[in-house]
Amino acid sequence: MAHSTSTTRSIPPFRSTECRPEWSARLRQVALASLVLPALLLAPAVARAREYLQVFVAQPYLELHTGPGRGYPVFHAVPRDASVDVLFRRTEWFKVRTERGVEGWASQAEMLKTVLADGSPFVFGLGDRAGFTSHRGEMGLFAGAWGGANYVSGYASLSFNPQLALEGAVGQFLGRFSNGVTGDLGLTHVIVPEARASPFLMLGVGEVHTEPKATLVQASNRTESMAYVGGGVRFYLARRFFVRGEFKAHWILTKRNRNEEADEWKLGFAFFF
Amino acid sequence: METGIRILLLTALLAALPGCASVRDWFHQRAERRAERRAAEAQRTEPRESEPPQDESAPPRVIEPEVSRRKITVPRIRSSNVELGLDYGALSIEDFGTNPVYGITAGYHITEDFFFQAEAGRSRGGRTSFETLGGNIQLLTESERRFTYYDLSLGYNFLPGEAFIGRGIAMTNAFYLLGGIGGTDFAGDTKFTVNFGAGYRIVPADWLAVHVTVQDRVFQSSLLGTTKLTNNLEARIGTTVFF
């Protein structure tokens, strides 16, 4: 439903400007410079002047909190039809700046009720069941077993659509007879993405680097290719969280006479974004 | 039996893969696309709503509103959930004394309560009391004394609040609990390591945080004859920048 008065709205002439004291800006530069690599890469993005999205309050008022959390007190209320600039988002909270330059935190639920200048609703990705069904990416960490050894693993995935995703995982196995690292890349097919407990199947290739413990006879480190097929279940918990349990059956393509097989079982926490 | 599982999974995958053939709209879940589509739909439906009813008896309209609808381009809203930083502290390696430790931290805030954290750090094991008393005995070589760890942890913020300096400065802060798994490379072997701990974070500016963390890194060691769980307590202070 379009907002009837939105077409005649103009951008308010007053816009607060950055007026930090100089020492604060310098302090910030020094601190950023001290974190050499990430800062060098990303500082320009932080420092660049940005054009912020302006949204209008459509509910009676928009409450601004002093911090990004449900317990922080409300210190300011933006009246209906006034606008705020959306500075950035942190988890479920938006840092906004009013026309008078007051900065505060507005919750995701409150921001859903605001509208853009043309009256259309302000839409953004929410961390809920709908997001669990259809999202851009996932990340998670696992504990488990790899061929009988303890296994620590992390993964990230990029979804093409709710059903199909490209997935990469790295892990380290630490056992009594050998240690090693694994890395693999493959496709994951989620069978029923809209279900709370949704099963999936996986197919892919990878590499495994094995370092046998020195007390054994065959004690040379080796790196081998592998291929896997697997399956698992992801179970939505709340917000952006889900539990994921999976099994991968690996074929390790060795340079010896016969190929090896290794089973990977793991269970972990993951989130989508 | 295991080959049987492999064949079963492959068959299931083959049966399920036709579902992947419907990849006509890749990345269709992106919010921007959705917003664009919604805006286009809104534009299509609006003129119909504003059209006057076709009624002969109605008086002719005096003023035809000529308002051009503004096209809104929604700039990407920056997400600031990632934290990167450096830390420094002291690590007590069981049997090997307390030594300085330095490390890097990366965090991702998922909700206001939970975050993921990855850490890597390095320290050195000192001399055991056995080596000190025994004179010229060396249990480990210099390179084996290097203590390197990494871990992946889940954190939970509790008791969030605000801290004040005088009347004018308020900073958000929180205590947090950490628990996770990882690996520790020490004495020529890498051990599966479980870690748990707690920390305090204070956020002086939206882009900066200062942390004080205490963690216990537990792994099994059989270096000194018997196999035992070793507790390696670590206390450190660090600073992180939000991106």
Domain holding B165: CATH number?
A: 2.40.160.20
Residues 96 through 115 of chain A touching chain B, CB cutoff 8 Å? none
Chain B residues in contact with A261 (beta carbon < 8 A):
2-3, 6
How far apart CA A188 and CA A162 sit, in angstroms, is: 11
Mean pLDDT of the residues in chain A: 83
Give how many domains chain B has, as a whole number. 1
Which candidate from B9, B67, B190 shows the least CB-CB separation from A249?
B9
How far apart CA A135 and CA A141 sit, in angstroms, is: 18
pLDDT in tens, B221-241: 888 788 899 999 999 999 999
Over residues B58-80, the mean pLDDT reads: 75
String of DSSP letters for A239-260: TTEEEEEEEEEEEEE-SSSS-E
Give the DSSP H/E element, type plus range, for residue A39.
Answer: helix A36-47
Give me the pLDDT at residue B225, please: 80
Give the DSSP H/E element, type plus range, for residue B215.
Answer: strand B208-221
Residue of chain A with shortest Cα separation from B43: A2
Percent of chain B whose predicted confidence (pLDDT) is above 90: 51
Give me the pLDDT at residue A215, please: 62
Owner of token pair 């890469």:
A41
Residue A162 in this model has a pLDDT that exceeds 70? yes
- Residues ≥6 apart with Cβ < 8 Å to B64: none
**Which of B49 and B87 is assigned the larger pLDDT?**
B87
* CATH 2.40.160.20 in chain A, residue ranges: 131-272
Helix, strand and coil content of chain A, in percent to the nearest 5, comes to 15, 50, 35
Give me the pLDDT at residue B108, please: 92
B219: in domain: yes
String of DSSP letters for B137-204: --SS-TTTTEEEEEEEEEEEEEEEEEEEETTTEEEEEEEEEEEEEEEEEETTEEEEEEEEEEEEEEEE
Q: How far is B34 from chain A (nearest CA, A)?
A: 9
Is the whole model's pTM more than 0.80, yes or no?
Answer: no
Residue of chain B with shortest Cα separation from A177: B189
Question: ipTM more than 0.85?
Answer: no
Give me the pLDDT at residue A7, please: 37
> Which class is A131-272 in CATH?
mainly beta
Percent of chain A whose predicted confidence (pLDDT) is above 70: 79
CA dihedral A62, A65, A69, A71 (to 10 degrees): -110
Question: Cβ–Cβ contacts within 10 Å for residue A267, how many?
Answer: 13
Residue A9 in this model has a pLDDT that exceeds 50? no
* CATH 2.30.30.40 in chain A, residue ranges: 9-124
Question: What CATH number labels A9-124?
Answer: 2.30.30.40
Q: Domain limits at B166?
A: 82-242
- With CB atoms and an 8 Å threshold, state whether A69 touches B112: yes
pLDDT interval class at B131 (50, 70, 90):
confident
B33 touches chain A (CB under 8 A): no
Percent of chain A whose predicted confidence (pLDDT) is above 90: 61
Which candidate from B2, B69, B180 shows the least CB-CB separation from A118?
B69
B168: in domain: yes
How far apart CA B99 and CA B85 sit, in angstroms, is: 21
pLDDT interval class at A212 (50, 70, 90):
confident
- With CB atoms and an 8 Å threshold, state whether A88 touches B78: yes
Residue A58 in this model has a pLDDT that exceeds 80? yes
Buried b (16+ CB within 10 A) or exposed e, B64-102: eeeeeeeebebeebbebbebbbbbebebbbbbbeeeebe
Give me the pLDDT at residue A12, please: 44
- With CB atoms and an 8 Å threshold, state whether A120 touches B12: no
B165: in domain: yes
pLDDT interval class at A3 (50, 70, 90):
very low
Over residues A7-24, the mean pLDDT reads: 45
Angle at B182 (CA atoms; ends A166, A228), nearest 5 degrees: 35
Over residues A176-186, the mean pLDDT reads: 92
Q: How far is B118 from chain A (nearest CA, A)?
A: 10
Chain A residues in contact with B49 (beta carbon < 8 A):
2
pLDDT in tens, A96-145: 999 999 999 999 999 999 999 888 888 888 888 888 999 999 999 999 99
Give me the pLDDT at residue A34, please: 56
pLDDT in tens, A90-104: 999 999 999 999 999
Q: How far is CA B140 from the centre of its chain?
A: 35
Distance spanning both ends of chain A, measured CA to CA: 28
* Contact present, A239 and A127 (Cβ < 8 Å): yes
pLDDT interval class at B215 (50, 70, 90):
very high
Give me the pLDDT at residue A51, please: 81
Give me the pLDDT at residue A88, please: 93
B43: in domain: no
Chain A residues in contact with B148 (beta carbon < 8 A):
none
Chain B residues in contact with A7 (beta carbon < 8 A):
67, 69-70
A261 touches chain B (CB under 8 A): yes
Residue A44 in this model has a pLDDT that exceeds 50? no
Residue B195 in this model has a pLDDT that exceeds 80? yes
Residues 153 through 172 of chain B touching chain A, CB cutoff 8 Å? 154, 157, 160-162, 170, 172
What pairs with residue B115 in β-bridges?
B109, B155
pLDDT interval class at A23 (50, 70, 90):
low
Q: How far is A65 from chain B (nearest CA, A)?
A: 11
Residues 35 through 64 of chain B touching chain A, CB cutoff 8 Å? 35, 38-39, 42, 46, 49
